[in-house]
Structure formats: C-alpha cells, structure tokens
Amino acid sequence: MSSFLTMIQTSGPLFLLVAAGYLVMKVFRLPLWVSQRTTKLVFTVALPALLFSMMTGIRRLPSPDMRVLAAFFGACLLVFALGRFGSRWFRLDGASRSVFAVGGVFSNNVMLGLPLAKLLLGPGSIPTVALVLVFNSLILWTLVTVAVEVARHSGTSWRNVVRTALRVAFNPIVAAIFAGVAWSFTGWDLPRVVSLPLDWVGAAAGPLALAALGMGLAEFGVGRDRRLTAALVTVKLLVHPLAVWGLAAWLGLSSLETRTLVLLSSIAIGSNVYLMARQFGVLEGPVAQSLLVSTALSAVTTPLLVALVP
C-alpha cells in the first residue's frame, strides 16, 4: 500500500503539468503553432542542454558493471526489435514503427524512476540508476534517430548513406549527447558561467515537455487509436520489465541490482518519446495517450513487479 501511495505522490505533479498544458490550449483557444513551437523549443534547446550537462559528468561515474548495462540495454534492444517487427500488424510505416518500438523501452526514469528508486529501494540503488540514466540517453536517442532516418532514406547509394549520417549527426539531441561525452574526455569542468545557464535551461526540459504533451492532447484529442495505445502500454509495462528481469537473472545480478533494473524498466513511457513523435511527425496522438495511461497504470504494476523479484 505504501508503494502505491508513493507512486501516486510522485506521479501526481506530472498529471498536473499535463493538465495545465491542456487547459491553456482549450481555455485561451491558442492556435496550434503554440503547441508545435513549445515542442520545438524543448527538443532543440532545453533537452539538448540537459543531456549535454549530463554527459559532461560521465567520467565521474563509477566504472560501469557491464552485466548491468547488458541486462538493461540488451533487453531494450530485444524489445525494440520485437516492437518494430510486431507493429507491422498495425500497418505502420518505418518511422512510425521505430517510434512505437522505442516507446516500449524508453521509461520516464528522470522524473519517476530516480525518486522511486530512492524511496522504495534505498540509496544502494542509486549507482545502478545513474548508469542507466546516462547510457539510456546515449543509446536509445541515437538508436531511434538512426532507425527513423534509415527508414525514411533507405536507398543504397552513397549519397543517401551520407545524407542519413549527416541527419543523425546534426540531430540536436544526438549532437548534444556526443558533444557532452567528448567534453567529458577532456577532463575539464565546465566554467560556471556556462554550466549555470545550462542547468537552468535543462531544468525546464521536463516541465516544458509535460506541458507540451498536454497541448498535444488538446490538438489530437483523447480516445483515438485505442488498440495501438493498448499495445504500446502492454509492451512498456509488462514485456519490457519481464525481459529485463529475465536477462538480469541469467547474468546473475544481485537482488538489489535486479530489483532496481526491473523498477526502471517498469516505469511509464517517458515524455521524451512524445518529443520524438512530434519531431518525426508520427504517432503523436497514440504516444500522448499511451504516456498518460502508462503513468496511471504503473502506479499499480511497478510496485507489484518489484515486489515479485526475489
């Protein structure tokens, strides 16, 4: 019961921000470009600032346990491949299948996973959470960007290959991630005159993304594409954590590491997936609905799955 109440208390502010974005669009009857520009601001400014700052500190993390990374991201890649293949049943195009697939593995771990791990599993879980958070952005953002670009520009000529590579490299998210990693290898700390504004702008990424989600719901409506929404929520809340649990058990991770990874993988779909959908112009409505539904249901499924781990 306490785990359930903790989930409600932690996820409550997320729903309030989404509701605020929805009401702003409806009450003031704002034009659609407001929602679109807000999403673009998050995608091109706030989120890159946050990810760049995260990546510059990668050298300060403890040496990664490759079994932890293999269990979590091995399961992510497996479920991503299954999601991309299985979504053919909905007759989606290549870009839509990629966004659907990443929705099944990209959790809201910054706003939900980290605080829940602290509350439910204690401070011993934080090193595992930190590893997942850093590599999550590095691997999954790059994966979905490459998958979408390849799906849209799948020609075999060298010109198409070069164009696809350039689109991936100059994607604001991917560029910020790799720029931050490159800076971390210099061993220098960012000057405070640079790091402080980056922190301010990055701190706005989460709240702005949730407000943009509410604006998107006002734009696309609620209650459509129920089969697609149900499939995406099922993959995220059940298939993904079970795959992580299975790999963690097979690799012989400790009980605390396994429970931490299961918790992180069972968290609701991240708002970043909605930003991906808006950026690539596919599945905006279903992803927005899936984010809300999965956040509500994970208040029950996440404590249950964590409790089931021996």
Say how many C-beta atoms besides its own lie within 10 A of residue 228's C-beta.
Answer: 21
Long-range CB pairs of 141-144, under 8 A, 24+ apart, other chains included: 141/51, 141/173, 141/174, 141/177, 141/272, 142/168, 142/174, 142/177, 143/77, 143/80, 143/102, 144/98, 144/99, 144/101, 144/102, 144/276
Please tell me the pTM assigned to this model.
0.84
Lowest mean pLDDT among 11-25, 71-85, 192-206: 11-25
Say how many C-beta atoms besides its own lie within 10 A of residue 27's C-beta.
Answer: 9
Task: Pull the structure tokens for residue 297.
Answer: 């249901």
How far apart are the C-alpha atoms of 112 and 298, rounded to whole Å?
Answer: 10
Q: Is the pLDDT of residue 219 over 80?
A: no
In tens, the pLDDT along 36-85 reads: 899 889 889 998 898 898 888 777 766 767 899 999 999 999 999 999 99
Give the chain's domains with CATH numbers: 2-308 (1.20.1530.20)
Helices 114-121 and 255-266 cross at an angle (nearest 10°) of 140
Q: Which residues contact 240 (CB under 8 A, 6 or more apart)?
A: 75, 76, 79, 104, 105, 107, 265, 266
In tens, the pLDDT along 74-114 reads: 999 999 999 999 998 998 998 899 999 999 999 988 778 87
